[in-house]
Amino acid sequence: MYTQGLDSLGKDCLRDEAQVGGALERRFQAHIDAEDKIEPKDWMPDAYRRTLVRQISQHAHSEIVGMLPEGNWITRAPSLLRKAILIAKVQDEGGHGAYLYSATETLGVSRDELVGQLLEGKAKYSSIFNYPTPTWADVGAIGWLVDGAAIMNQIPLCRCSYGPYARAMVRICKEESFHQRQGYDIMLRLSRGTPAQKDMAQQALNRWWWPSLMMFGPPDADSKHGVQSMRWKIKRFTNDELRQKFVDFTVPQAEFLGIRVPDPQLSWDPAAGHYRHGPIDWNEFEQVLKGNGPCNRERLEARRRAHEEGRWVRDAAVAWAAKRAGSAAPRAALTLLRRNHERRYA
């Protein structure tokens, strides 16, 4: 059931300070508790809107920046089939970014503004994409572990209280599932290959294991948004709960591959029915978030360059749209396009 009944209240009600935190907010929370979806035109507390813009835009940026570590391997994939699969996967990630920017736009923020924040280095994106991919096995490890962690985190987001985000996640999760399998397939081939290939798989697991656990965010005690986001049913599980699910799910997969999780303290706790892992280096996580990870600068430079190099495509799209609309704008837009083109190829 959707909360269209709130439509009539609209955004203007925010001006009524007496209402905020009072009846409106109670009614809003009651809808959430009843598992209704909140839609763009519904009344929502400002903090709910801000939290969604923050989370969804960070998620969108992650998908876009996340194209880079694997994109690096498209020209070097070991066969034509692997190349075609990798191109499709990287293209899917770009599509995920596009749906998520659209979902954020329903909250009143333009995509241009969000992309600007990313390019200026003001916006966060997932820590995981600041690590390098030195071998083909890293492509396998990303699919297996990073997409695996993404699925664990994102399946519950299909039940997020905000309708446009929840609906975008349905298709994204289906595609991530294909990505995870292609990554595991690469790892399986390598781990059943020559000793050198098996070692390559092991080294990639060593590089990606701990950063994958960090993807789920800080421990619950340090998660500043966690409690409120759970109350608003944006998040359905805490960071630590999802991290634990990921560990329980993934360790047997590593065993099947015959490679070792790089954690000497990893053990099975039969009473709890969970694997217990060793301490995570949260200092490393903080450093990556501050921009000091191994590839932070490289990733932002690559995005800025791509944005500049794609300017003529955006100009062309604007010129074409103006021409089709039959307005007076096309000549000006075409002149701009020609000028940019000349500058670029001068």
Site residues (CB under 6 A) for ligand FAQ? 54-55, 58-59, 62-63, 66, 93, 124, 126-127, 142, 146-147, 150, 153, 214-218, 223-226, 229, 239, 289
| Residue 32 to residue 231: CA distance in whole angstroms | 9
| Residue 52 to residue 234: CA distance in whole angstroms | 8
Q: Which residue from 249, 197, 251, 241 is spatially nearest to 220, judged by alpha carbons?
A: 241
Helices (H), 258-295: 282-287
DSSP secondary structure string for all residues of 52-71: HHHHHHHHHHHHHHTHHHHH
How far apart are CB 59 and ligand FAQ at their closest, in Å?
3
Beta carbon nearer to ligand FAQ, 182 or 333 = 182
187: CB partners within 8 A, 6+ apart: 137, 140, 141, 144, 201, 204, 205, 257, 259
How far apart are CB 207 and ligand FAQ at their closest, in Å?
15
How far apart are CB 139 and ligand FAQ at their closest, in Å?
10
Beta carbon nearer to ligand FAQ, 3 or 212 = 212
* Cα Rg, the chain, nearest whole Å: 22
How far apart are CB 234 and ligand FAQ at their closest, in Å?
8
335: CB partners within 8 A, 6+ apart: none
DSSP-assigned beta bridge partners for residue 322: none
How far apart are CB 230 and ligand FAQ at their closest, in Å?
9
Beta carbon nearer to ligand FAQ, 139 or 337 = 139
Per DSSP, the three-state class of 37 is strand
Beta carbon nearer to ligand FAQ, 198 or 235 = 235
How far apart are CB 155 and ligand FAQ at their closest, in Å?
11
184 near 144, Cβ under 8 Å?
Answer: yes
| Residue 19 to residue 95: CA distance in whole angstroms | 39
254: CB partners within 8 A, 6+ apart: 205, 260, 261
DSSP state for residue 162 in the 8-state scheme: B
How far apart are CB 54 and ligand FAQ at their closest, in Å?
5
Question: Which run of H or of E encompasses 231?
Answer: helix 226-231
Beta carbon nearer to ligand FAQ, 98 or 336 = 98
How far apart are CB 13 and ligand FAQ at their closest, in Å?
26
121: CB partners within 8 A, 6+ apart: 291, 300
DSSP state for residue 133 in the 8-state scheme: -
Beta carbon nearer to ligand FAQ, 36 or 93 = 93
Q: Which residue from 233, 120, 232, 139 is spatially nearest to 187, judged by alpha carbons?
A: 139
Beta carbon nearer to ligand FAQ, 42 or 70 = 70
Closest-CB residue for ligand FAQ?
Answer: 66
How far apart are CB 251 and ligand FAQ at their closest, in Å?
20
Beta carbon nearer to ligand FAQ, 6 or 160 = 160
Beta carbon nearer to ligand FAQ, 296 or 330 = 296
